Amino acid sequence: MADSKEIKKCALITGGSRGIGRAVCIQLATDHDYHLLINYNSNKDAALETLKFVEEVGGSAEIIQFDVVDAEGVKATLSKWEDDNADAIVEVIVNNAGITKDGLFMWMKPEDWSDVINTSLNGFFNVTNHFIQKLLVNKYGRIINMVSVSGLKGTPGQTNYSAAKGAVIAATKALAQEIAKRNITVNAVAPGFIKTDMTRELNEKELKRMIPANRFGEAEEVAHVVSFLASKKSSYITGETININGGIYS
């Protein structure tokens, strides 16, 4: 069916208000023409600040509030957005939302286990599953999952986070094979120690000794890789996990 209206191509970034998510939003706005959906859960001020940064580099964006864990909430919010934006299509999904609740496994509370698993793993399902049929019909898409060095090598004190991110890595590999024929790629990006709010409490001076590059990474260094994976240039890369960790064994 011919449509005189131009389709507005969009990219959704979950947990886009701060840290790596914010850096990804700014980089995507710099490198691409996508209209960005900057998802946040509770920190609206931070999301609005990200929106301001995106607009400052010439990008187009809006903020969208939902908790990736809440399946019904995700469905309701995204369905309403789609109804309100009938001329738009989400081509790029960056599943970045994640939390840590670190502690030794022997003392881990059940909610610290389930909250971390639910945010990373179920969040990936809730958001990606909502769009997957539309991506398949569109015969084009980029799904990029933010994982972690913890999901590859395991990190003591992070059994819950390592389990969550390891599961997303496995899901990335499986889904990539299911939908590759439709020109949809699914890749994971695994940061090591990156300077963000999440790592602020860590002893950088002590930890950088175990990093061959001898420093923590910058959020922008992660964002450049995500931006590449969101582009047409990455069309023959799928099912991969790209490490950005300064050489830490993984």
Helix (H, G, I), strand (E, B) or coil at 78: helix
Render 102-128 in DSSP notation, one character per residue: ---GGG--HHHHHHHHIIIIIHHHHHH
- Phi, psi for residue 89 in degrees, rounded to 5: -140, 135
Report which DSSP code applies to 33.
-
Cα(239)–Cα(185) distance, integer angstroms: 7
Q: Which of 34, 140, 161, 249 is catalytic?
A: 161
CB 56 within 8 A of CB 31: no
Please report how the helices 19-31 and 44-56 are oriented relative to each other, as an axis angle in degrees rounded to 10.
Answer: 30
Residue 82 to residues 33, 75, 87, 123, 149, Cα–Cα distance (Å) = 19, 10, 9, 19, 35
Cα(88)–Cα(82) distance, integer angstroms: 7
161 is catalytic: yes
Q: Please, where are the H alpha helices in the chain?
A: 19-31, 44-56, 71-84, 110-117, 123-138, 149-153, 159-179, 204-207, 219-229
Catalytically annotated residues: 161
